[in-house]
Structure 1
Amino acid sequence: MSRIDDQLLSRLPLADINRVTFYKRDELTADLICCDVIIAEATWSFHEEVAGWDLLLNHLQKLPQFRLDWYEAVSQPPFAVSKIVAFCR
């Protein structure tokens, strides 16, 4: 996936999202923040270096009881395994 845009977000309707999980991958010199969005049996995977990442975050934050503290929870400590479910239906 090269970019996140409105067309892609239309394929991720909020009412259909079952789970949103953020995690990080150790990329040797830096951590890469990633996100999996689960709809039915499909998993959509994204990471912070994809153009439009901010559009995805704005979209997901509209989910009821979405954990707005997900970034702080997943980013610390650096280079340690970290995973957080920010939304679960």
Structure 2
Amino acid sequence: MTITPSILAQLPLPDIDAVVFYKRDEIITDLICCDVKAAGRVWTFHEEEKGWEDLITYLAVLPDFRTDWYEAVVKPPFAASETIAFNRR
């Protein structure tokens, strides 16, 4: 999937309840993923999708968004390292 402006438009910032980053072990490398919970639905994205940087820029304006999420997720290698970057509750 490509993360396009029309996909982001389906994720209005006031409707986002949570953003969670984690890694999937891909045997040789880790794949950084992001689950966005909004309006009763979970949208899953990963770093190899075109538009990933646009998604991160878009989400980063959420109030109290955890800007150090990347450092928290990447270490240690091959561990899940689930990190909640935003939780509206």
- TM-score under structure 2 length normalisation: 0.97
Unaligned 5+ runs, structure 1: none
Unaligned 5+ runs, structure 2: none
Root-mean-square deviation (Å):
0.6
Spell out structure 1 runs of 4+ moving beyond 3 A.
none
Q: Give me the identity figure in percent.
A: 56
Equivalence for 1:8: 7
- Whether 1:84 aligns to 2:83 is yes
Distance in structure 2 (CA, Å) of the matches to 1:41 and 1:52: 23
Q: Which runs of structure 2 are paired with 1:34-49 in the superposition (5 Å)? A: 34-49=33-48
Distance in structure 1 (CA, Å) of the matches to 2:26 and 2:53: 21
Q: How many residues align?
A: 88
Equivalence for 1:17: 16
User: What amino acid maps onto 2:48 in structure 1?
Assistant: E
- The C-alpha deviation readout for 1:24-83, integer Å capped at 9, x for no partner, is 000000000000000121000000001000000000001000000000001101111210
- TM-score under structure 1 length normalisation: 0.97
